[in-house]
Amino acid sequence: MIISYPSSLLPARILVVLLLVGYATSAHHHHNNHVSKNATNQILQQAYVALQAWKRVIYSDPMNFTSNWDGPNVCNYTGVYCAPHLNDTNVLVVAGIDLNHADIAGFLPDELGLLSELALLHLNSNRFCGILPPTLSNLSLLFELDISNNRFVGPFPSVVLSLPSLYYLDIRFNEFEGQLPPQLFNKKLDAIFLNNNRFTSIIPPNLGPSTASVVVFANNGFGGCLPPSIAKFANTLEELLLINTSISGCLPTEVGFLYKLRVLDVSFNQIVGPIPYSLAGLAHLELLNLAHNKLSGIVPDGVCVLPNLANFTFSYNFFCEEEGICSNLTSKGIVFDDRRNCLPEKPLQRSKKECEAERPVDCFDHVCGKSTSSSAASYHIPLSSTPPP
């Protein structure tokens, strides 16, 4: 018997994801295109085992998301989405789980590794805790993983490095700590959200040729400098957020090689030296935030005349001159903030004593030093934990 599959049961985002996964992962399937009825039963039976094991370790579900997680018909469970098997449209499998904003408390059991056809796992804004089970490495089709705004702990969840189809990774607003593995930036990910955890050490100095369009390091305690290898992100990176990461040293010239960049925010750090003139090559840049650092020298005209620049914040630094149009950004319709610098004849600047105490930095001679993470803990600048639509 052919099982009917009403597409209206799936949110549009999940349908798009499953379509992408179907194209992206078809090469992983080398077995016969026909899946037997026994195999169908076994796939859904394994899903039933996994979901029942999960329900047993859910200790609070105030919105009753899992109240109907009973019986073998897992496709009717709230938050569980079934779709046709990649190789046989007559066969249903559990392809997506979306429990976003359910406020569920519990942890993730090893049995989730039985959901071998899962393409999407969204657990944003719950109270899940503990670590990610290593059995998640069995989810070879997993395309999107969003566990943001929970209470997961431990080192970076290395199991994600073994997921061959992963494209979207969101682990922000948890309690992960320690170093970031350099291998993360070798994966073919489009989005990497790491912000608001407890990561320390430094941003890996030998960044790989990432395919990401968005990388958010913000609100961690990395310290050290932004490595010149950031240039390897040039072909894809559009948004780079390093807010409150305790990075120091000079901005590398290589930031200006990120020619697709639309958003660059390095505010609330200990960055010194001048603005690299290479930033004048970022023709797509719309937002540039350099505030709350120790930058000095001239605000270069080449940055201020960027064709798409709409918001330029460089307050709370030690700039002493605004070159060309930089002194009158209002005339270009650019939203700007130049307070608390050392700019002559501009209001709300630093005192003469503060400005004279700050020495210019030669970035050719400056040795990158690692800052402590204490300043990162002092700001607590929130970034949205809600995933993109």
Contacts of 144 (CB under 8 A, 6+ apart): 17, 119, 120, 121, 122, 166, 167, 168
Cα gap 95→142, rounded to integer Å = 9
pTM of the model: 0.87
Angle at 213 between CA 212 and CA 218, to 5 degrees: 85
Nearest Cα neighbor of 135 from 121, 115, 165, 153 is: 115
Boundaries of domain holding 229: 8-291
CA separation (Å) from 254 to 189, 227, 251, 277? 21, 9, 8, 10
Query: pLDDT over 90 for what percent of the chain?
Result: 77
In a domain, 320, yes or no: no
* Contact present, 168 and 194 (Cβ < 8 Å): no
Cα gap 166→346, rounded to integer Å = 50
Helices (H), 305-384: 352-357, 374-379
* Contact present, 304 and 282 (Cβ < 8 Å): no
Q: What total number of domains does the chain contain?
A: 1
Residue 100 has a pLDDT of: 98
66-75, 81-90, 130-139: the lowest-pLDDT one: 81-90
CA separation (Å) from 296 to 46, 197, 215, 315, 360? 61, 30, 26, 11, 7
Mean pLDDT across 335-357: 96
In a domain, 316, yes or no: no
Read off the pLDDT of residues 262-286 as tens digits, 9 standing for 90 and up.
999 999 999 999 999 999 999 999 9
When the pLDDT of each residue in the chain is averaged and rounded to a whole number, the result is: 88
Q: How confident is the model at residue 27 (pLDDT cuts 50, 70, 90)?
A: very low
Nearest Cα neighbor of 216 from 190, 188, 234 is: 190
213-227, 326-340, 350-364: the lowest-pLDDT one: 350-364
Query: What totals of helices (H) and strands (E) does the chain contain, helices first?
Result: 5, 22
DSSP letter at 48? H
Read off the pLDDT of residues 300-338 as tens digits, 9 standing for 90 and up.
999 999 999 999 999 999 999 999 999 999 999 999 999
CATH classification of the domain holding 145: 3.80.10.10
Residue 95 has a pLDDT of: 97
Classify burial at 147, counting beta carbons within 10 Å of its beta carbon; exposed 0-12, middle 13-18, buried 19 or more: buried
In a domain, 348, yes or no: no
Cα gap 183→88, rounded to integer Å = 34
* Contact present, 177 and 152 (Cβ < 8 Å): no
In a domain, 347, yes or no: no
* Contact present, 143 and 122 (Cβ < 8 Å): no
Q: What does 255-287 look like in DSSP terms, one character per residue?
A: GGG-TT--EEE--SSEEEEPPPGGGGG-TT--E
Residue 72 has a pLDDT of: 94
Classify the C-alpha dihedral 165-169-255-367 as positive or negative: negative
Q: What are phi and psi of 299, to 5 degrees?
A: -85, 110
Read off the pLDDT of residues 45-84 as tens digits, 9 standing for 90 and up.
999 999 999 999 999 999 999 999 999 999 999 999 999 9
pLDDT of 34 higher than 50: no
Structure tokens at 293: 């650092």
In a domain, 350, yes or no: no
Read off the pLDDT of residues 221-252 as tens digits, 9 standing for 90 and up.
999 999 999 999 999 999 999 999 999 999 99
In a domain, 321, yes or no: no
In a domain, 228, yes or no: yes
The DSSP H or E segment spanning 303 is: helix 301-304
Nearest Cα neighbor of 83 from 174, 135, 21, 131 is: 21
In a domain, 303, yes or no: no
